[in-house]
Each structure stands twice: as C-alpha cells, then as structure tokens.
Amino acid sequence: MSVSTRFVRSHPDQLLVGLVSVSDRASSGTYEDQGIPTLQSWLSEALAEAPQFERRLIPDEPALISETLIDLVDNIGCDLVLTTGGTGPARRDCTPEATLAVATREMPGFGEQMRQISLRFVPTAILSRQVAVIRETADHAALIINLPGQPKAIKETLEGLKDADGKVLAAGIFAAVPYCIDLIGGPYIDTHDYIVKAFRPKSAIRVK
C-alpha cells in the first residue's frame, strides 16, 4: 500500500475521520455500498463543526484491513476511524481480528454497549463481534471503532435510543467519543445535543 498524504486541518480542532467499509461484494461492485454514506451523513449532522473524511471501500481481507487502518492513523493522521461490516461469525468476517492486530489498547465498553442496544431489537445481536481500540504512534493516537453493517443499526448504535418524548432509553456510543478523543490528545469536538449529547466531566468542558 502506498503512503497517503497527511491531512491538513482547516483549524486546530477539526476532526479527521477515516471511514472504512469492509465488504467483498460492495468492493467488487456487486452492490452499492451503504455504510460509508450512512456514516458520513450521520457525522455531518451530529458534529457541531464539519470534519474532514477519508473514505476506503475494501474487501474482507485481514491484511488489507490492518494496512488500511495503519495508513489512516499513522500516515493520514485520522483522530477517529469508523469501520462498518465484517463483524459477524461468517468465515470471511475478519474486521475485529484485523483491528485488534493494529491496536495499542482495547476499549471493550464500546462493543459491549453496541450489543446492548442491538439486543433490544434482535436476539442475534450476541453474534456481533465489534471491537474498539486505541492505536498510538510516537506523536499521535486515534480511536478505531467497528460498527455494524446495516445503516439502521449504524445509526442506532451511534445515536442511541429515545422514547417519543426524547428521553434516552439507551445511550449511543458516540456520546463517549469526544471525551475519549480529548484523553488521547485529539481535537476538542462537540455535537448537536438533539442528535447525541456528548458527555464530559464538568472539569473537561471548554468554556465557549
């Protein structure tokens, strides 16, 4: 894989996001990928400041997945990498293993919460194997999260579940992402509360 050009931020707190869709059929053109458009649309609406995106559509090949994640973090400088697809028990589903192979540290709470949200809809949520990890280099760190493959499930796990009155029934995982990125030295990002409210301890909230 050739080395990619590092992003240049338009301002210090601009988030750099890598979006990776892992699918044999979509990458071969058998059907149109829905994962990356869903992720980009949701993030563009949820984040208070527009991020930059780097998009990759690749097949279910462990070495290629790992190489792609390394390139997005080490060379391009992404702060957050979201993958979609390849997290089930099928023989070709290898995204979690490829993600763990490039990890410095695991962040198991993200996968646990995603499965809790999905279990509200389908008992087969226990078959999902999504993981989240931190990858660190000498001067940079990024959060990498595996997400489900279906657009509806992507939105539910990121945003969480609310009742008709807007009360949160199950917190979406993205509520914890901004503070996690703070802690690993990334940019300070905020969200639109009506989509998902970012949680930070009071001592970590920046006064505007």
pLDDT one-digit tens code per residue, 109-153: 999 999 999 999 899 999 999 999 999 999 999 999 999 999 999
Give me the pLDDT at residue 93, please: 96
pLDDT greater than 90 at residue 183: yes
Predicted confidence (pLDDT) at residue 6 exceeds the cutoff of 60: yes
Band (pLDDT 50/70/90 cuts) for residue 3 is low
Percent of the chain with pLDDT over 70: 98
Average of pLDDT values for 25-48? 95
Single-letter amino acid, residue 143: L
Q: DSSP code of 204?
A: G
pLDDT at 147: 97
pLDDT value of position 2: 56
**CATH 3.40.980.10 corresponds to the domain 16-203:** yes
Over 90: is that where the pLDDT of 169 sits?
no
Q: What angle do CA 30, 36, 38 make, to 5 degrees?
A: 110
Amino acid identity of residue 196, one-letter, is V
pLDDT of res. 119: 92
Tell me how far CA of residue 10 lies from CA of 7, 42, 62, 181, in angstroms. Answer: 9, 21, 33, 18
